[in-house]
Structure 1
Amino acid sequence: MSLSKQLYLIISLIFFMIFTGNFIISIKNTKEYLETESISKAQDTATTLGFNLKTLINDKNNPEIETTINAVSNSGFYKEIRLEDSLFTIKESDLVKASKDLDKGIWEVSNIVIDSNIGILETLTQSDDFMQELITLNGSVPNEENKNIVPSEDVYTFIPNLKNKGKTSLDIKFTATNPENKIIETNATLELNKVLVQVNRDIKFDSVPQWFINLIPIDLGEQYTEISDGWRTSAVLFVSANPGEAYNKLYAQAKSSIFYSIISFIISIVILYLFVQYLLKPLKILENSALSIAEGKFVKVKATSNTTELITLSNAFNDMSNKIEATITRLNTNIENMSKKLSTDELTGLAIRQTFETDMKQLFIEKAKGYILTIRITDLGGFAKSHTSNEVNNFIKEFANILETTKLSDDKKIFAYRFFGSEFAIIAKDFSNEDIVKFANILKDKFEKLGDKFEKKDVAHIGAAIFNPFSTTSQILQSANQAYEKATIIGQNEIFISQENELVKDMESWRDFVTETIDNASFTVKFIGNFTRCNSDEIIMQEAFTSIKDKENNDIPIGTFVSIAEKYEKIVDFDKKVIQKVINYILINDVKYDIAINLSLESINNTAFIAWLEQKLSENKNIVSRLVFSVTAYAVAKDINKFKFFISQMKSLGAKVIIKRYETRFISLNDIKDLNLDYLRLAREYTNDVCIDFSKQSFIESIAEISNLLNIKVLAENVQKDEDFKYIKSLNLFAASR
């Protein structure tokens, strides 16, 4: 996860925690405030309304009481307003009537008992003893004057508990005594309705979702006030606030809090984004600088921030870049010196046979014209016996100087080589038959003059063979050696020029054979050269090698076959068939290591081939990482920009690229660092006798150091001797093959 994403995430989490805490506290405080406010308003309303009803409570059936209560309830703020009676008058006659055990006679009630949890029962009026005594004075027998006088009865007042609402069932136990002094213990059940007036309003939450109501319950307790009639509480007025209004306000508060929090969050993220971009801009520059350094581009970082840490980091990057650049420059210089030393003869300064073979490969690629000359000093051993070492060395130097400096014209290129001892060679590029004859005669004249100087009449013989782009280096050298042998027969310092330019097969037969072989894919792909890790025996790569046989089952030189395929524009088809065979091999055998596939320069320069290859790799994404496309160093050197484009295309698809037979004289390490290679395979000449050749050791070690800095894996190919292979494994190379 990038630093910017981490910053966005942590800031978002902090913002969310702060918002959540503030939101919960805000909602809680608002809820408590609304509850307090609603309860207080309900209590005030109960008090005010109770005061207004006090003058009307004498007559509890007065319709004006309900009118007054409805007027207040219509405001909608109240869920319920209820007026309950607090005084119930109960007469003895009511108890007698309610009792199932008493008849309709005259009964006197005493010893009244009720449940104290329901309320209390008080005596309002005692029986009139004066009237009873008056009746007695008039005689025990009733007369016309006293027969309508009925003894007064007691009246009781029932005061219910406030907790009891609505209708109350009152069970009264009492003792009843009639005039005959009959005593009965009985009970009576009276149904009392406390509610005088009750007005309800629906609780509406039109704009508040149910989940919000369930999540945040609002408890608005019922408030009441007592209405007195004289010194007694006559009625109780209950008022309940409607929570709908509180929920509306609370939900509106929650929505506004969330809305403004989201706006604040968006603004904060925008500000954070701008700040992070400003903060990370120097880091992005440092990142690009680090990638450039890894690719070998040693840029300098300019501090664009005032942050002390970033300035320090920029300075550290610059210091690191300078040191790595200095190291690579030093190693490059060492490599160039070592390469020059390894590719030239120490005594004469001429190129050696390794360079000759590489230059011949270039001629094959270019399909150049010219001649190859084999030149040998006659009886150098006998000359050395009769002369000092210094004289012999001077003779060889002057002889080599003649080969190197003799020219016909600027457009006729001469490349001189010393193979070993007395054996030399020349590549005469772009020479015609007339040119080679003239050039050979000039050499002959100079040899004779050199012989006069060192008193050696027979200096050297020259054998020349025409360059055949469809042959091989060994075949051409063999023709030149045969010409040399003929020159020795002719006489001293003589020349023989072979004009044979025939192939084993005629060109028409070659064309038919190559076309048929490629069209039918009648060739075999073998997998050779097990490249193993230098620090283990793990196989990391093999090379796909094409084996082609003629009708007589004789091996056809792959170089000759490729040259003719290029001549007749069949090389792209050939590379396609090879790639398809390699893909099939990997799929069938489930190969776990890389397979190197050699490509021609014509193929990687062909846009149709690149398009075909991209499609083929897309179809085989599961194995594309095991494909390594290989191109020779001298082929890359012809069009390094085109090769760079090819690398970028292959890397984007997940494939790998290798340069094989690498020599610094074709591609410098400064160019290598710009290619973004996966592998670099050294020419086999660098590893032959490496265990005893200090120059080769220094060269390979320098290559390994630079490659490690550039993240390129270096391979050593075809190491012949056990001692060389053991030494190679001790170096910091990636892998080697035998």
Structure 2
Amino acid sequence: MSLSKQLYIIIAFIFFMIFTGNFIISVKNTKEYLEIESITKAQDTATSLGMGLKSLLKDKQDPEIESIITAISNRGFYKEIRLVDASFTISETQLIRNSVDLDDSLWKISDLTIDNSFGKIEKITSDSELSKELSELENEEIDESQIDIEEDTYSYIPSAEYTNGGKITFNFTAINENGMKVNTSSKLTIQKVIAKATRAVKFYYVPNWFIDMIPIKLEEKSSEISDGWKTTAIIYVSANPGDAYAKLYQQAKSGIIYSILAFLFSMLILFIFVQYLLKPLKRIEKLANSIAVGKFGIIEKLPWTTEIKNVAIAMNDMSSKIEAIINKLNNNLKNSSEKLSVDELCGLSLKQSFETDMKNMFIHKKTGYVFVIKIFDLATYAKSHTNKEVNAFIKEFGSILKNTSIKDKKTIAYRFFGSEFAVIGEGFSYEDSIKFAKSLQESLGKLALEFGKKEIAHIGATPFNPIGTTPEMLQAANEAYQKATLIGANEAYIRDSNDLSRDMESWRDLIFDIIDNSKFNVKYIGDATLLNHSNELVMQEAFTSACDKDGMDIPIGTFVSIAEKYEKIIDLDKKIVSNVINHILENKINHNISINLSLESINNTAFIAWIARTIQNNNKIAKQLVFSITAYAVAKDMDKFKFFADEIHKYGAKIIIKRFESKFIPLDNIKDFNLDYIRLARDYTCNICNDNSKQNFVEAIQELSTLLNIKVFAENVKDEEDLDIIKSFSLYAASR
């Protein structure tokens, strides 16, 4: 996970924790405040309403009581307002009015009774009666005229069944002012609640989940209404929670909206800051990736943050030091390579360079002639002359080969060993070869006179065969040389194109038949093992072989060359890749297998697309597929090879350059290819135990490859002493 994402997550988490804590505390405090405010308001309303209704409770049936309660309830702040009688009281007037046996005369009742199932009834002593009784106790005379005549009132004490009232029958005796007595009864509906106003609790836009999550409990408040020293009624007020919920929900909603906006704004500021902060880190990352692939730059604009600035300075220092080390290694490799490829005595290229240049001609489909020149009877001359004289003769002989040429044609001279030399004449025709041979004979004739050696050398030449091999052409040139020795002293024999061993048309038909009908075999050779105590097999090479109509093996160079000439090489490479994949799957191979590809294949976009699909379809074994390109093929088009390597790496496969020679690929270019493996040409490791130049070269290439994360293979190591030397340089693996 990137640093920016980690910062975003941790800041978001901290913000969430702070917001959640503040939100919970805010909602809790607001809830408590609204509860207290609602309860207090309900209590105040109960108190004030009780005081206002006190004067009206003399007649509890007064309709104005209910009007006042309803008016206050209509304000919407209350769920319920309820006026409850402190006790069930019945007046004499109520009993008389509800009797069907009494007229409108002035009646007085006595002997009031009820059935025991309803409870019991008691007369309430009035204030005037109480005053009269007190006066009698004090023996005071009472002025009857000053005593107001009050009607009697009774207290109904209900049984358990009629606690909340009901229809009660009262029996009594009524006497009017004329002395008429009537035994009668009244049926009264007794209610404890004198008046009540209720409003439905509505939450409007407040969702149910909010109500369920945050319960608001509002206690019912009450106030007693007294008449003197007696409590006549109790007023109950319940606050409406809908208003509290609405305010709380609005507050919570506003808090969340504000927090979201604040969070988004904060994250925007954080994003800008992080991008600015991490910009130097991206430059450092880019530099690190460049160093990993061998490109060494520096960060010119140093960051202002102290810690990151110190890292950038350290990266610059590391990049400069590694670049210096690699440059030093490159110089060492260049010097070692020159020593390995140039004859120290006469300054001519060695045989391995000849083979390399021949490969280059095959790749670029060049024409020309190959000359073999041998000093005649050098051993006898050496016996009769000192080493200094012999060396001077050989040096002068090499100089003549190096400097002899014809106009507008390129010649390269080589010393194979001892008295054997060779020359490649690029672009030479048969006529050019004759001119070159005559010019060479003239120069050698002068050399013969100078050193007193009558018969100095013979020359044999053969045309470059694009479908042949280097050994075949050397053999043909040597046959021409032998013919030259038969002609006479210092003679030359030049073969023409009619001497080519096979007809191109017959080759074409043969190669088409082999590829179209898959008449080739894929063998697995070159078992490369780790150069440690495990000797674990890490790679094999898929080698293709085919036979001609006579059952003779076709040289692979000839086979590939003709396939390329007639544009059949891509078909061949596809079939070989499929064969290797099937081999790995069917035999459950665990080690890597290298597959040789031609330059035409890696330059073909359709082939690259095909191989990408093939790897994707077999992605489980992708890491075991190592696509192998020869160093001289890479040298022909390095940009195309780099593109191919990048595409292959996208799908998990690997790349190896085999037969690596510094002459083909400049050492500075290795870092550009993002290689997995390098397999050295066998000439670099053959007899390495006795050649310090080879040892220096292999050691330097290993050090350079280590810095670039490339594994180095040694090829075809036969001698145990050579293997011990290679192990001491810590190469990755070697094939025997």
Do the aligned partners of 2:349 and 2:414 also contact (CA within 8 Å) in 1?
yes
Q: Which deviations, in whole Å up to 9, do the C-alpha atoms of 1:695-734 show, x marking residues without a partner?
A: 1121111111111222222222222222222332332322
CA drift of 1:528 comes to 1.2
Superposed, 1:642-721 pairs within 5 Å as 642-721=640-719
CA distance in 2 between counterparts of 1:88 and 1:573 reads 113
Change in CA separation of 1:472 and 1:156 when aligned onto 2, cut-off 3 Å: closer
Report how far residue 303 of structure 1 moved.
3.0
Which residue does the alignment assign to 1:29? 29
Moved more, 486-495 or 393-402: 486-495
Which of 510, 515, 518 does residue 518 from structure 1 map onto?
515
CA positional deviation for 1:57: 0.9
Query: Aligned-pair distance for 1:50?
Result: 0.8
What runs of 5+ residues in structure 1 fail to find an aligned partner?
103-108, 113-120, 132-151, 170-189
- Aligned to 1:531, what secondary structure does the other structure show? strand
How far is the alpha carbon of 1:388 from its aligned partner? 1.6
1:240 is displaced (CA, Å) by 0.5
Q: Higher mean Cα deviation, 581-590 or 346-355?
A: 581-590
SS at match of 1:55: helix
Is the CA contact (8 Å cut-off) linking 1:526 and 1:544 kept in structure 2? yes
Whether the 8 Å CA contact 1:87–1:159 is kept in 2: the answer is: no
Matches of 1:512 and 1:69 in 2, distance apart? 117
Per the alignment, residue 17 of structure 2 pairs with 17
Q: Deviation of residue 341 (structure 1)? A: 0.5
Q: Report what 1:45 is aligned to.
A: 45
Secondary structure in structure 1 of the residue aligned to 2:619? coil
Q: What's the Cα RMSD here?
A: 3.0
Deviation at 1:236, TM superposition (A): 0.8
Q: Answer yes or no: is the 8 Å Cα contact 1:630–1:660 preserved in 2.
A: yes
Identify if the C-alpha distance between structure 1 residues 327 and 94 changes in structure 2 by more than 3 Å, giving closer, same or farther.
farther
In the superposition, relative to structure 1, how do residues 443 and 34 fare at CA in structure 2: closer, same or farther (>3 Å)? Answer: same
In structure 2, relative to structure 1, the CA distance for the partners of 1:380 and 1:166 (3 Å cut) is farther
Counterparts of 1:64-213 in structure 2 under 5 Å?
64-89=64-89, 97-99=114-116, 167=164, 193-213=191-211
Contact kept in structure 1, 2:89 and 2:153, CA below 8 Å: no
Instruction: Pick closer, same or farther for the CA change 1:477–1:101 going to 2, 3 Å.
Output: closer
Q: Which residue of 2 aligns with 1:456?
A: 453
Q: Among residues 284, 297, 300, which one is paired with 2:298 in the alignment?
A: 300
Question: 2:268 is matched with which residue: 270, 273, 280?
Answer: 270
Post-superposition Cα deviations, 1:304-340, rounded to whole Å, max 9, x if no partner, equal 5321112211111111111000000000000000001
3-state SS of paired residue (2:380) = helix
Q: What is the alpha-carbon distance in structure 2 between the residues aligned to residue 76 and residue 213 of structure 1?
A: 19
Deviation of 1:460 (Å): 1.7
CA distance, structure 1, for counterparts of residue 450 and residue 42 of structure 2? 137
The whole-number CA distance in structure 2 between the counterparts of 1:503 and 1:584 is 39
CA deviation profile, 1:421-458 (whole Å, cap 9, x unmatched): 11111112211222222222222222222222222222
Cα contact 1:729–1:736 (8 A) shared by 2:
no
Shift, 1:565, TM fit: 1.5
Identity, % of aligned positions: 58
1:97 alignment partner AA: I
Cross-structure match for 1:724: 722
Q: Aligned partners of 1:381 and 1:561: how far apart in 2?
A: 40
Deviation, structure 1 residue 43: 0.9
SS of equivalent to 1:597: strand
* Counterparts of residues 437-456 of structure 1 (less than 5 Å): 437-456=434-453
The 1:485–1:504 alpha-carbon spacing in structure 2 relative to 1, beyond 3 Å, is closer
Distance 1:168 1:599, change over 3 A: same
Q: Secondary structure at the match of 1:208?
A: coil
CA drift at 1:235? 0.8
- Classify 1:384/1:424 alpha carbon distance in 2 versus 1 (closer, same or farther; 3 Å): same
Structure 1 residues 95 and 542, CA gap change in structure 2 (3 angstroms): farther
For 2:174, the equivalent position in structure 1 comes to: none
> Secondary structure of the residue that 2:243 maps to in structure 1?
helix
Contact 1:462-1:495 within 8 A present in 2 as well? yes
CA contact (8 A) 1:222 1:241 kept: yes
Q: In the alignment, residue 260 of structure 1 is paired with which amino acid?
A: Y
How many pairs are equivalent?
679
Q: Which amino acid aligns with 2:462?
A: A
Q: Does 2:556 align with 1:531?
A: no
Contact 1:529–1:718 (CA under 8 A) maintained in structure 2: yes
Match of 1:240 among 219, 238, 243: 238
Q: Partner of 1:396 in structure 2?
A: 394
Distance 1:498 1:441 in 2: 15
Aligned partner (choices 403, 406, 415) of residue 405 of structure 1: 403
Deviations 1:352-378 (A, max 9, x none): 111111111112222222221111222
* Contact 2:39/2:239 (<8 A) preserved: yes
1:84 aligned partner, one-letter code: V
Distance of 1:554 and 1:81 partners within structure 2: 118
Task: Choose the corresponding residue for 1:370, options 352, 368, 371.
Answer: 368
1:580 alignment counterpart: 578
TM-aligned CA deviation for residue 228 of structure 1: 0.8
CA distance in 2 between partners of 1:327 and 1:124 (Å): 122
Q: Does 1:417 align with 2:414?
A: yes
Q: 1:17 to 1:122 in 2, by over 3 A?
A: farther
Q: Is the 8 A contact 2:118 2:162 kept in 1?
A: no
Tell me, yes or no, if structure 1 residue 431 matches structure 2 residue 448: no
* TM-score normalized with structure 2 length: 0.87
Q: Cα–Cα, structure 1 residues 166 and 439, in superposed 2: closer, same or farther, change >3 Å? A: farther
The structure-2 alpha-carbon separation of the partners of 1:599 and 1:95, relative to structure 1 and needing over 3 Å to count, comes to: farther
Is the 8 Å Cα contact of residues 376 and 461 (structure 1) preserved in structure 2? yes
Amino acid at match of 2:355: E
Are residue 589 (structure 1) and residue 606 (structure 2) matched?
no
Instruction: Tell whether 2:340 aligns with 1:342.
Output: yes
Partner AA of 2:60 in structure 1: K
1:154 positional shift: 12
Quick check: 2:158–2:165 contact (8 Å CA) kept in 1?
Answer: no
SS for the counterpart of 2:636 is: coil
1:112-161 Cα deviation digits (max 9, x unpaired): 9xxxxxxxx99889999x99xxxxxxxxxxxxxxxxxxxx999768799x
Report if the CA contact (8 A) 2:43-2:222 is conserved: yes
